[in-house]
Chain A
């Protein structure tokens, strides 16, 4: 990722080379990428603070991951290895499309499905089960960057609340949740406090992933293209969920009726985040949401553990 930013800024699009089919490396011009990298640096310097940036037009619609895409395109270079996941899956439409787009506009950058191999992982709504290292960057696609959006409509007021670290309203929302439901029900996008200062949305990752943001070895960059904001959780930064001292944050437990931890139907893992999958006969089963982790795990555990069902696509292919 280093020393590749100043290279020759254009390339030919394979064999159909015409002057009109030329793109800059990483689709954006160098100045645009530099601006985004500067926003990222500022975000790293002030963990959890939402840095405004000039979100560019992308060849995909806003809301389809343009924030994450722009960050990835700004930091990627030849020699980098990219993994793209959508809800833990390497094979979903969003992940496949983004990956092939980046492959096309970033020659020299490799792609992979292996979390260990990747130098950059772009993700929508999950953190890979494999623990990332210091040499890796996790790029999140964020729909709504401001955690206060749900409790304060006026953006000017929200900026003020962040500035004064006045987060009573987030706790009030939590209070109301407990009053209504008897416990904290907030699922994805659980509010967190970064570095004991700014309140932040971890993007809609499940509660399962929230503790894994804290003191992570890797850099976490969050890009919201539609809302034009970038924020970051640098390595080894404390991320604490917002909670009451007697109503604690907890991760999804995945217990069955007998109170036992449900195992992935494919790889048998009992230590991963599970998706509930509807089978064609109407029954449901649980499988790892992280498909790459699941596949690797299944290979190690193989032969297929007894009682596990064979992998079937949830939708007819």
Chain B
């Protein structure tokens, strides 16, 4: 069972010409079309996100990881090709056919996201509890007591001291801000969680704690996670499946252990060689 399945997903930024696709990609060594200067952020990406598993998307900066995440999450609409999403009741939905309001509904109710930069995911002008309340509210809850209880529970579960829930996250440490983001993402009990470089800006000990938290949450809830990272160590710790991207293309795909033990593509070999 897959929760996402894409076929020939392609995303251009620019004028595009008929030869954009063949002149870019991992083999061409660029994602900018030499003829017309179009950036090919995604070049015929095929992937499957298995239900209840963590799929790691590894690649260097500019390889198209975040574009892929933005399209699947539903804040980018310009891609061609097919991207199917299986909702909790088992229906397959073509993401490209949804209008912006329907995509927002998916984002609000069925997806959760944690950004690298907490400023992107949190509103620093309201309290940490308020940030979580916002997500609880979109699910239709209109009882103050229930909202408060839910926010307390989520913060507690993600390891944020609940006595600080009425403070702005601006005064929190980086690790705690990430915990608030995770609590916010989980507020509506999503079935897919998008993690965009969640530990990149944290120091090693805090990184380890956040990774532990994610693993623990995953084990308890069995939600599907799309993990975007350039840190192969993070992917190794969390992901069961993995794709490696370069210049907008998927160059390698498989089980995490398999890729680590026996990388096929030269770029993957280089990547693993560099990190170990």
- Chain B proximity mask over A175-201: 1 for CB below 8 Å, otherwise 0: 110111000000000000000000000
SS of A interface (majority): helix
**A171 an interface residue at 8 Å Cβ cutoff?**
yes
SS of B interface (majority): helix
- Chain A proximity mask over B113-153: 1 for CB below 8 Å, otherwise 0: 00000000000001101100111011000111101000000
Task: State which of A172, A178, A180, A247 has its C-beta within 8 Å of the C-beta of B137.
Answer: A172
**B204 an interface residue at 8 Å Cβ cutoff?**
no
**Chain B residues whose CB sits within 8 angstroms of the CB of A247 once the complex forms:** 144
**A256 an interface residue at 8 Å Cβ cutoff?**
no
**Chain A residues whose CB sits within 8 angstroms of the CB of B104 once the complex forms:** 164, 166
Determine whether the beta carbon of B101 is less than 8 Å from that of A175: no
Expressed in whole angstroms, the minimum distance between the Cβ of A148 and any Cβ of chain B is: 14
**Residues 90-117 (chain B) with a chain A CB within 8 angstroms:** 100-101, 104
How many B residues are at the interface, by size bracket?
A: 10 to 19
- Given A164-B104, A166-B104, A246-B145, answer yes or no on A179-B166 (Cβ-Cβ < 8 Å): yes
Considering only CB atoms, which chain B residue lies closest to A174 in the complex? B144
The distance in angstroms between the C-alpha atoms of A220 and B116, with both chains bound, is 48
The distance in angstroms between the C-alpha atoms of A168 and B127, with both chains bound, is 15
The distance in angstroms between the C-alpha atoms of A168 and B100, with both chains bound, is 17
Determine whether the beta carbon of A172 is less than 8 Å from that of B130: yes
Task: State which of B129, B135, B142, B143 has its C-beta within 8 Å of the C-beta of A179.
Answer: B129
- Given A176-B127, A179-B166, answer yes or no on A168-B143 (Cβ-Cβ < 8 Å): no
- Given A164-B101, A166-B104, A168-B137, answer yes or no on A176-B143 (Cβ-Cβ < 8 Å): no
Query: Between A and B, how many residue pairs show CB distances below 8 Å?
Result: 47
**Chain B residues whose CB sits within 8 angstroms of the CB of A245 once the complex forms:** 142-144
Determine whether the beta carbon of A172 is less than 8 Å from that of B126: yes
Determine whether the beta carbon of A169 is less than 8 Å from that of B127: no
Determine whether the beta carbon of B138 is less than 8 Å from that of A175: no
Expressed in whole angstroms, the minimum distance between the Cβ of B82 and any Cβ of chain A is: 25
**Chain B residues whose CB sits within 8 angstroms of the CB of A179 once the complex forms:** 127, 129-130, 166
The distance in angstroms between the C-alpha atoms of A16 and B172, with both chains bound, is 71
**Chain A residues whose CB sits within 8 angstroms of the CB of B137 once the complex forms:** 168, 171-172, 175
Expressed in whole angstroms, the minimum distance between the Cβ of B254 and any Cβ of chain A is: 40
**Most B-side CB within 10 Å, residue of A166, A171, A175:** A175
The distance in angstroms between the C-alpha atoms of A26 and B83, with both chains bound, is 59
- Given A164-B104, A179-B166, answer yes or no on A169-B144 (Cβ-Cβ < 8 Å): no
Task: State which of A166, A172, A180, A244 has its C-beta within 8 Å of the C-beta of B142.
Answer: A244
**Residues 198-222 (chain B) with a chain A CB within 8 angstroms:** none
- Given A164-B101, A169-B134, answer yes or no on A175-B142 (Cβ-Cβ < 8 Å): no
**Chain A residues whose CB sits within 8 angstroms of the CB of B135 once the complex forms:** 168
The distance in angstroms between the C-alpha atoms of A160 and B104, with both chains bound, is 11
Interface residues of A, Cβ cutoff 8 Å to B: 160, 163-164, 166, 168-169, 171-172, 175-176, 178-180, 244-247
A-B contacts, 9 listed (Cβ < 8 Å): A166-B104, A169-B134, A171-B133, A175-B130, A175-B147, A176-B126, A176-B127, A179-B130, A245-B143
Which are the 8 A-B pairs with shortest beta-carbon distances? A244-B144, A168-B137, A247-B144, A168-B138, A245-B143, A172-B134, A171-B137, A175-B133
Q: A163-B101, A168-B137, A176-B126 are in contact. List 13 more A-B contacts (CB 8 A).
A: A160-B100, A164-B100, A164-B104, A168-B138, A172-B126, A172-B134, A175-B137, A175-B144, A176-B130, A244-B142, A244-B144, A245-B142, A245-B143
